[in-house]
């Protein structure tokens, strides 16, 4: 799996990818994206961005700095280079492995592909916020000050943390993936 993904990403994925249990991690992450509260970050298939979230002061509040988007540059570079047709074709060929991992996650009757579409649609529904986003530190994590933003799903919060430009690029790729998935039935 690691070799196939690295090949499709042009080799730039190795330093970002957690090398073990890739399919199980992808399935668990996709399942968690439309939910609130990620719980255990050990499920992530990719390493978290390097460094701390970048903050700045604005109007007496702490906001996510524009420079924070740079933390996601390695991921966005891979996303820009990857051939989505090849990724979706690989996913369709490998679907039985994703479905098996989804059943092992506790969904004996559900279909992983359905959950993937839900996760994609949820992230595409993330609000487009171009104003600085106020945050406050709660324990070791930052929370959005705006209760509506704080109540968003994991996937939608990720979209906001990416920054507006990265979010727009990521949404464009998600739309293409969704279109490619819808263009051909993935076997149930």
> Average pLDDT in the 160-168 region?
95
Total number of domains in the chain: 1
At residue 128, what are phi and psi to the nearest 5 degrees?
-90, 105
Q: Which residue has the tokens 């076997």?
A: 187
Contact between 44 and 25 under an 8 Å Cβ cutoff? The reply is yes
Higher model confidence: residue 5 or residue 46?
46
Residue 179 pLDDT > 60: yes
Has residue 65 been placed in a domain? Answer: yes
Residue linked to tokens 């280079």: 81
List own/partner pairs for 60-63 with CB under 8 A and 24 or more apart: 61/134, 61/145, 62/134, 62/135, 62/136, 62/137, 63/132, 63/133, 63/134, 63/135
Q: Which helix or strand (DSSP H or E) is residue 153 part of?
A: none
Contact call for residues 42 and 115 (beta carbons, < 8 A): no
* pLDDT more than 90, % of the chain: 64
Condensed to tens digits (0 to 9), the pLDDT of residues 90-114 reads 999 999 999 999 999 999 999 999 9
Q: Measured over all CA atoms, what is the biggest interatomic distance in the chain, rounded to whole angstroms? A: 53
Overall pTM > 0.75: yes
Domain enclosing residue 7, as ranges: 2-183
pLDDT recorded at residue 185: 53
Is 136 part of a structural domain of the chain? yes
How far apart are the C-alpha atoms of 122 and 160, rounded to whole Å?
Answer: 13
Answer whether residue 188 is part of any domain: no
| In-domain check, residue 126 | yes
Chain Cα centroid distance, residue 162? 10
* Spatial CB neighbours of 103, under 8 Å, sequence gap ≥ 6: none
In a domain, 100, yes or no: yes
Strand ranges (E), 66-112: none
Pair 161, 64: CB distance under 8 Å: yes
Write down the pLDDT at residue 11. Answer: 58
């Amino acid at each position: 799996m690691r070799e196939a993904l690295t090949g499709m990403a042009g080799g730039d994925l190795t330093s970002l990818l957690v090398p073990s249990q890739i399919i199980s991690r992808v399935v668990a992450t996709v399942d968690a994206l439309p939910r609130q509260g990620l719980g255990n970050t050990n499920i992530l298939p990719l390493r978290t961005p390097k460094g701390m979230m970048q903050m700045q002061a604005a109007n007496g509040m702490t906001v996510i700095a524009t420079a924070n988007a740079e933390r996601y540059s390695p991921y966005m570079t891979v996303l820009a280079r990857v051939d989505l047709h090849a990724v979706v074709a690989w996913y369709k060929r490998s679907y039985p492995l994703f479905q098996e991992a989804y059943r092992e996650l506790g969904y004996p009757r559900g279909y992983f592909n359905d959950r993937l579409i839900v996760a994609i649609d949820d992230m595409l529904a993330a609000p487009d916020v171009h104003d600085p986003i106020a945050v406050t530190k709660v324990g070791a994590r930052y929370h959005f000050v705006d209760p509506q933003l704080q109540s968003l799903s994991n996937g939608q919060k990720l979209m906001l943390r990416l920054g507006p430009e990265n979010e727009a690029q990521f949404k464009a790729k998600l739309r293409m993936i969704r279109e490619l998935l819808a263009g051909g039935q993935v076997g149930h």
